[in-house]
Structure 1
Amino acid sequence: MKRRHFIKNTSLSGLGVAAASPLLEYLNLSKMANFQPVCIATWNFPNASLKAGEMLKQGASALDAVEQGVMVEEADIRNTTVGRGGAPDREGNVTLDACIMDPSGNAGAVVYLKNNTHAVSVARKVMEETPHVILAGEGADQFAREMGFEKEELLTEASEKAYKEWLIKKEYKPLINIENHDTIGMLCIDEKGDIAGACTSSGLSYKMNGRVGDSPIIGAGLYLDNEVGGAVATGMGEAILKSVGSFLIVELMRQGKSPQEACETAILRIINQNPNYKDFQAAFIALNKKGEVGSYCIQKGFSYVEYRAGENRNFPSKYYF
């Protein structure tokens, strides 16, 4: 830490950086106290943001809030894109992906996790109890048992029925803004000004066995820097993975762009990389150290929910097409 502070101080004095520069602004913000807690989450999951927001209001850490917030959706069997009740892959397996990041930059993730509703909690254990960042498949499942998570059946009666109906035609075409490829990603800033994030998903409905999307990948589905802010993604994971969009947004905010400007730049990057962009959805939300929020997507129809000052509201996102 001493070396880090020395580099900051000598760099700023040597270059004569003006007080209004983006870097100095964020360094000053990092010293502020009495931040206003804020929670934002992808799509319209008001119960999740309400849980996290109320925890923040009571003084909980951002890390605890994001974990408990997304757990609400993981446990809701009506949500066929997250946790128990998630749509299976083409072989009938419900497999989950999740990641979590704390204000210190530590991260944990699980991919192709079976038999555990709360993938985000297993990811947190990976972050806190192992020297690794990602555990996959059988190894992740074994680790969950060792950490005390009970084995669960994730395929519900409703999701099994839908799967059997899908087997008749076996059509694989994700529908824009239909809940077959959605994710809950959440960012929170607590009263200390610390930022944490989480992202959890059951992935594309009827995906190929073994497929992993962007949701558990640090830098793609989620990224944050406690001195700057954070971003999370949702939509077509393959396109988001190739753009490393969440990392890009945080770096753009570091350079002084607003969360909105950064999200728009990231979506334009995806559009430029994918001539077929009209055939899928991709979306980002971002939160900076000031508590400012940004959101942008390819197609009309994406929204995000925000908890701030006791109010829990859903906002339609700005869009490109």
Structure 2
Amino acid sequence: MQRRKFLKNSSLTTAGLLSVPVLASCKDENKAPETVPPIQAVKPIAVCTWNFGNATAKAWEVLNSGGSALDAVEQGVMIEEADVTNETVGKGGRPDRDGNVTLDACIMDKDGNCGSVVYLQNIAHPISVARKVMEETPHIILAGKGAEKFAYEQGFQKEDLLTESTRKQYQEWLKTSKYETTINIENHDTIGMLAIDANGDIAGACTTSGMAYKVAGRVGDSPIIGAGLYVDNEVGGATATGVGEEVIRTVGSFLIVELMRQGMSPQEACEVGVKRIMKKNEGRKDFQIGFLAINKNGETGGYCVHPGFTYREYSENGHENRQVSSFYQKS
């Protein structure tokens, strides 16, 4: 009898529970379903590492006139390559320890095509040579004398990349020949730029003269697709600055884009990227890394090891230099 009573009560309880959603659904069947408003995409937009406002202004000029993201990032970073007061990029970059200015750059378009030059000498605009590698050869990377020869064949002119300022600094450095990496912009060595054009297509560029007084032949992350730069037109793009060896070890920019593919925001992905590096360098504080990312909607984010890294952003919403948070806080 007790068992029958239990089953009867259970049946009544179950029926009661079932009736609640059924009644609720009947009551609300004529009610319009709730919808989540879509994210309003920001485009066109250009961002770059550090406070290179002239570079983003040039990129915006291209984008605002209907130009492609690829043209925007190339022409944007060319501004810094030509600026001899910027001693970490292009003409006027500080030399290696043998006194030679050697340049690295890469570029990547919406279709995943990419081109790169490493250890290029005597050419002021390595980013444009990298684009020629992408568009005029079946290859992705050209290096050293081969890259230089290719540049001449493409019509680039030979130039002395040392300036009076960097030549004097080099002579002074020879007195001690001490190699050290400064934490922020004085030796950050890179401008990385990402852009989305009016069509919603993404491209990226990265260019550098590398660490000052580096060992001759050294190449960092900047010209390495997946390390210093990566673009996926379905997801977004990322670029890096700082000590390239640490970025290469984690394939940093590719990692960040893949994290965004999995649903992370650009900010969250950059934070994970830096923390991945710091996990492998526990307790180490003598270097800087900064990541910058943008997703398909034009949302941006950045994160770094030490305070000081910033990024420039230009869109219809304005032109500003954004401070980013860091793994180590100000003391």
TM (norm. structure 1) is: 0.89
Q: Using the alignment, how far apart are the partners of 1:79 and 1:179 within structure 2? A: 9
User: Residue 227 of structure 2: SS of its match in structure 1?
Assistant: coil
Aligned CA-pair RMSD = 1.7
* TM superposition shift of 1:310: 6.1
Q: 1:126 aligns with which of 114, 125, 133?
A: 133
* 1:310 to 1:115, Cα distance in 2 relative to 1, 3 A: farther
Alignment of 1:107-126 (within 5 A): 107-126=114-133
**TM superposition outliers: structure 1 runs of 4+ over 6 Å:** none
Q: Using the alignment, how far apart are the partners of 1:182 and 1:126 within structure 2? A: 22
Equivalent residue number for residue 314 of structure 2: 307
Equivalent residue number for residue 23 of structure 1: none
Q: 1:275 aligns with which of 276, 282, 286?
A: 282
Structure 2: segments with no counterpart, 5+ residues = 1-34
* TM superposition shift of 1:178: 4.0
Instruction: Give the residue type in structure 2 aligned to 1:40.
Output: V
Q: Could you say which structure has the larger radius of gyration?
A: 2
Give the count of matched residue pairs.
Answer: 293
* 1:253 to 1:314, Cα distance in 2 relative to 1, 3 A: same
Q: 2:89 aligns with which of 82, 92, 117?
A: 82
User: Residue 99 of structure 1: SS of its match in structure 2?
Assistant: strand
**Does 1:196 pair with 2:203?**
yes
* TM superposition shift of 1:127: 0.2
Alignment of 1:119-268 (within 5 A): 119-268=126-275
Q: 2:111 aligns with which of 75, 83, 104?
A: 104
Q: Using the alignment, how far apart are the partners of 1:50 and 1:277 within structure 2? A: 36
Cα-to-partner distance string for 1:245-293 (whole Å, 9 max, x where unaligned): 1000000000111000000000000001113531100010000000000
- Does the 8 Å CA contact 2:42/2:315 hold for their aligned counterparts? no
- Does the 8 Å CA contact 1:77/1:156 hold for their aligned counterparts? yes
Q: Using the alignment, how far apart are the partners of 1:166 and 1:181 within structure 2? A: 18
Equivalent residue number for residue 316 of structure 1: 323
* 1:225 to 1:249, Cα distance in 2 relative to 1, 3 A: same
Q: Using the alignment, how far apart are the partners of 1:312 and 1:227 within structure 2? A: 25
- Does the 8 Å CA contact 1:35/1:190 hold for their aligned counterparts? no
Q: Using the alignment, how far apart are the partners of 2:218 and 2:283 within structure 1? A: 21
Q: Using the alignment, how far apart are the partners of 2:187 and 2:262 within structure 1? A: 35
Q: Using the alignment, how far apart are the partners of 1:277 and 1:104 within structure 2? A: 38
Identical-pair percentage? 63
Q: Using the alignment, how far apart are the partners of 1:218 and 1:140 within structure 2? A: 17
Structure 1: segments with no counterpart, 5+ residues = 1-19, 21-27
Cα-to-partner distance string for 1:78-130 (whole Å, 9 max, x where unaligned): 00000000000000000000000000000000000001010000000000000
Q: Using the alignment, how far apart are the partners of 1:225 and 1:88 within structure 2? A: 33
* TM superposition shift of 1:35: 5.8
